[in-house]
């Protein structure tokens, strides 16, 4: 998952030394602000890494104040310029620089709020993004800025802009118009208040998920089926076991624990992450989003959000999701029947006629073993985490013509974190961090968080910085860190976002890296998952952690034969999330008598093949209802493009460097400097199609 931040995107801080020449004479930040910026470790020297270990909680409010002060000063100078004196540099680039300054600070704050071991830093970082979000709201309603852009668009100087610059200018004007510039003074004031409240509630929603704590204590008897390695890491002094809700705790229980009660209890706890606090926050957000959409002239919040996406409208999204549900449901029903056969045999009861949600992974694991001879624990032995990382590096370095080198003794926010430089023919073009293991108060899923985005400055090209934040098992003195094949896929996926940021060549902050349409942004990460299913790539790194033996082709063939076991259930689960998102933002009345849990149950029963489990509140921990609101459909939507793009590699060679170069040049390098449909057509040589996607799912 790509972690979203301010609506403007993330990254590149605009310090005074990075101003364009025509702006330098106008932008006079105070000496005090400049001195403080130099002293504050949050402000990195141009193209140098941020000194994360030097950051204290007190640095954050100071840096936030300086960042906003810089933005206000730059905006003041931009607005002073007379209409007939407007140029690309003093208007368009100046605005992009303002966004870059806000973006870098916001990205850094999101990273710290999600990963810092210091609670004061996390809290101050969350507060900082509330302040930044409020300032962005103010900026998005600035009529003088809107008029300045319109004035520039109608000038002779705008006629010489290149296509990317024209797109940025037009996108900004449309964004202002979508965000209420046509409203009267009182309605603008109301809109501003709504946006500020939503900004604060969104941050609260995320924080409640990140800091949610729950666990279960189980006896030795209840752990039957779990590995000794798993148990040893969770054994307490009294001989019981403490099992939390992070993925390394949760997934093995659902997959291997023989106790139905244990699996059910942990499942219910996991489906209540966020708790009552987030149910209340979500209610408030939905009411405010409805108000916001109506104020802007849209019937629903989904209609408002989709108007700027590839899909364009709610009708298109509903047709896509319902059409895919119709195609996937027969396969999902067949998947359940296959699991029922296993459960009946296991329980020695032919009258069983349902699979509970918390039983699915357990019986699927037995099915894989008995029918397909795939033992996931045996498969894990070939995916030691360092081998996986090294192998993925080999594959992508070859495909995209780059080199990664680990930095010794990096300045990072936690000792687990590693840092790498990306070079192209010896030239430094990017920097990424790996924060791969779970710990207390850390974001508990997987994401790529950018915090410095690439852009052209008068000094040089600003290189991007991003972090991969995951929760994979960590090696101990007694055992290596072994990844499930699903974890390997996840690592490949998330690193796809990193590559999207590292290999951009966009000239503007606002168009670089992952700052693309929200319903396209997952495609460049989803495509990378395919390399986890190609033996030609796996044999480069899938080595037994003890013997060094390469993953046997026979074992891989069995894995491949079983690849689409449960694919119908997978698709319907993704549609469950996508349809909940759309229901809440398009059809649900937040002021009516029904609740979000009523919606949850209704959608669950329409999409899933399991009985609904009373007492779950999945929506409270569904973080995408904040940062991907009315956009979760994009995960399946963008999968269509990912599968279609991979068809070129499938035909031309999965390690074909020429195809890799085309993909880098046509897709990754462009960011949003061209429309997504256009870059897809450039790479594919035709319009995208659904065929490869449907075939890949086996539905």
> pLDDT tens-digit profile of 123-176?
999 999 999 999 999 999 999 999 999 999 999 999 999 999 999 999 999 999
Q: Report how far residue 255's alpha carbon sits from residue 225's, in angstroms, rounded to the nearest whole number.
A: 9
- Give the end-to-end CA distance of the chain in Å, rounded to a whole number: 25
CB within 8 Å of 286: residues ≥ 6 apart: 301, 584, 585, 588, 590, 596
For residue range 409-432, list pLDDT tens digits in order: 999 999 999 999 999 999 999 999
Q: Work out the widest C-alpha separation in the chain, in whole angstroms.
A: 84
**Lookup result for tokens 């849209």:** 298
Q: Report how far residue 251's alpha carbon sits from residue 362's, in angstroms, rounded to the nearest whole number.
A: 10
Helix (H) or strand (E) holding 162: none
Region(s) of the chain under CATH 1.20.1050.40: 16-179
For residue range 384-403, list pLDDT tens digits in order: 999 999 999 999 999 999 99
Tokens at 426, concatenated? 């010896």
What are the φ/ψ torsions at residue 467 (nearest 5 degrees)?
-125, 140
For residue range 343-357, list pLDDT tens digits in order: 999 999 999 999 999
Region(s) of the chain under CATH 1.10.1370.10: 275-372+566-632
Of 539, 530, 519, residue with least CA distance to 693: 530
Q: What's CA 284's distance to the chain center, in Å?
A: 24
**Lookup result for tokens 């609670």:** 119
Is 9 a residue whose pLDDT tops 70? no
CB 390 within 8 A of CB 541: yes
DSSP 396-417: HHHHHT-EEEEPSS---SSTT-
Q: Report how far residue 281's alpha carbon sits from residue 32's, in angstroms, rounded to the nearest whole number.
A: 39
> Domain 16-179 in CATH: superfamily?
Endopeptidase. Chain P; domain 1 (1.20.1050.40)
Tokens at 255, concatenated? 């997959």
Region(s) of the chain under CATH 1.10.1370.40: 385-561+654-660
What are the φ/ψ torsions at residue 66 (nearest 5 degrees)?
-65, -45
Residue 265 confidence (pLDDT):
98
CB 566 within 8 A of CB 573: no
Strand partners for 235: 241
For residue range 586-642, list pLDDT tens digits in order: 999 999 999 999 999 999 999 999 999 999 999 999 999 998 899 999 999 999 999
- Mean pLDDT score, 568-575: 97
Residue 10 confidence (pLDDT):
28
CB 476 within 8 A of CB 30: no
CATH number for region 275-372+566-632: 1.10.1370.10
- Mean pLDDT score, 30-50: 77
Cα dihedral 149/150/152/156 (nearest 10): 160
> How many Cβ atoms are within 10 Å of 13's Cβ, its own excluded?
30
Cα dihedral 128/130/136/137 (nearest 10): -160
For residue range 211-220, list pLDDT tens digits in order: 999 999 999 9
Q: Report how far residue 602's alpha carbon sits from residue 114's, in angstroms, rounded to the nearest whole number.
A: 32
Decide if domain 385-561+654-660 falls under CATH 3.40.50.150: no
Residue 185 burial class via C-beta count within 10 angstroms: exposed 0-12, middle 13-18, buried 19 and up? exposed
> What integer best gives the mean pLDDT of the chain?
94
Residue 37 confidence (pLDDT):
61
Question: Which of the four pLDDT bands, split at 50, 70 and 90, describes residue 486?
Answer: very high
Helix (H) or strand (E) holding 241: strand 241-243
Report the SS3 class of residue 573. Answer: helix
Residue 30 confidence (pLDDT):
40
Residue 444 confidence (pLDDT):
85
> How many Cβ atoms are within 10 Å of 370's Cβ, its own excluded?
12
Catalytic (active-site) positions: 494
Residue 11 burial class via C-beta count within 10 angstroms: exposed 0-12, middle 13-18, buried 19 and up? buried
Q: Report how far residue 396's alpha carbon sits from residue 528's, in angstroms, rounded to the nearest whole number.
A: 9
Burial 302-337 (b: 16+ CB within 10 A, else e): bbbbbeebbbeebeebbebbeebbeebbebbeebbe
Is 15 a residue whose pLDDT tops 70? no
């Amino acid at each position: 998952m790509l972690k979203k931040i301010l609506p403007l995107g993330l990254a590149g801080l605009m310090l005074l030394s990075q101003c364009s020449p025509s702006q330098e004479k106008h932008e006079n930040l105070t000496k005090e602000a400049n001195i403080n910026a130099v002293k504050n470790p949050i402000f990195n020297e141009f193209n140098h890494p941020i000194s994360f270990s030097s950051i204290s909680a007190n640095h954050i409010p100071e840096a936030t104040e300086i960042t906003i002060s810089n933005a206000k000063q730059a905006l003041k100078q931009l607005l002073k310029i007379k209409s007939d004196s407007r140029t690309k540099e003093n208007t368009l680039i100046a605005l992009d620089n303002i966004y870059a300054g806000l973006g870098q600070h916001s990205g850094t704050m999101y990273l710290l709020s999600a990963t810092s071991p210091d609670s004061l830093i996390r809290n101050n970082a969350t507060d900082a993004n509330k302040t930044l979000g409020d300032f962005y709201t103010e900026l998005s309603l600035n009529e003088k800025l809107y008029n300045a852009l319109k004035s520039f668009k109608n000038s002779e100087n705008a006629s010489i802009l290149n296509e990317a610059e024209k797109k940025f200018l037009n996108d900004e004007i449309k964004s202002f118009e979508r965000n209420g510039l046509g409203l009267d003074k009182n309605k603008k004031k109301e809109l501003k208040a709504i946006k500020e409240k939503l900004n604060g509630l969104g941050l609260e929603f995320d924080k409640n998920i990140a800091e949610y704590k729950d666990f279960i204590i189980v006896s030795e008897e209840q752990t039957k089926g779990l590995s000794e390695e798993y148990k040893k890491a969770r054994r307490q002094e009294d001989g019981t076991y403490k099992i939390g809700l992070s993925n390394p705790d949760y997934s093995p229980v659902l997959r291997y624990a023989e106790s139905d009660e244990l699996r059910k209890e942990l499942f219910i706890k996991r489906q209540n992450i966020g708790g009552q606090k987030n149910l209340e926050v979500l209610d408030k957000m939905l009411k405010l989003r409805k108000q916001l959409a109506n104020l802007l002239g849209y019937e629903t919040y989904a209609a408002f959000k989709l108007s700027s996406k590839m899909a364009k409208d709610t009708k298109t999204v509903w047709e896509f999701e319902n059409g895919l549900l119709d195609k996937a449901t027969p396969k999902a029903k067949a998947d359940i029947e296959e699991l029922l056969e296993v459960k009946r045999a296991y329980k020695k009861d032919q009258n069983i006629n349902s699979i509970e949600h918390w039983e699915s992974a357990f019986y699927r694991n037995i099915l894989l073993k008995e029918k397909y001879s795939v033992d996931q624990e045996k498969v894990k032995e070939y995916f030691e985490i360092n081998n996986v990382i090294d192998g993925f590096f080999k594959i992508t370095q070859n495909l995209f013509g780059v080199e990664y080198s680990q930095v010794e003794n990096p300045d990072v926010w936690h000792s687990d974190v590693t840092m790498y430089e990306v070079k192209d023919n010896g030239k430094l073009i990017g920097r990424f961090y790996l924060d791969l293991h779970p710990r207390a108060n850390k974001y508990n899923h997987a994401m790529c968080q950018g915090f410095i985005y690439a852009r052209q400055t008068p000094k040089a090209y600003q290189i991007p910085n991003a972090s991969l934040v995951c929760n994979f098992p960590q090696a101990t003195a007694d055992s290596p860190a072994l990844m499930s094949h699903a974890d390997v896929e996840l690592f490949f996926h998330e690193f796809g976002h990193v590559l999207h940021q590292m290999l951009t060549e966009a000239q503007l902050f606002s168009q670089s890296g992952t700052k693309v349409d929200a319903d396209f942004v997952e495609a460049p990460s989803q495509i990378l998952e395919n390399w986890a299913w190609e033996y030609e790539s796996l044999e480069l790194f899938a080595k037994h952690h003890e013997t060094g033996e390469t993953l046997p082709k026979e074992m891989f063939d069995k894995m491949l034969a079983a690849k689409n076991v449960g694919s119908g259930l997978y698709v319907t689960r993704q549609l469950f999330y996508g349809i909940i998102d759309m229901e809440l933002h398009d059809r649900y009345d937040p002021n009516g008598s029904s609740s979000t849990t009523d919606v949850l149950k209704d959608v669950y029963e329409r999409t899933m093949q399991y009985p609904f489990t009373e007492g779950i509140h999945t929506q409270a921990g569904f973080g995408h209802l904040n940062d991907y609101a009315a956009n979760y459909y994009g995960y399946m939507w963008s999968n269509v493009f990912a599968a279609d793009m991979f068809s070129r590699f499938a035909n031309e060679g999965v390690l074909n460097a020429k195809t890799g170069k085309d993909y880098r040049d046509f897709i990754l390098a462009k960011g949003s400097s061209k429309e997504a449909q256009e870059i897809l057509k450039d790479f594919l040589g035709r319009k995208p199609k659904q065929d490869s996607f449907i075939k890949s799912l086996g539905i």
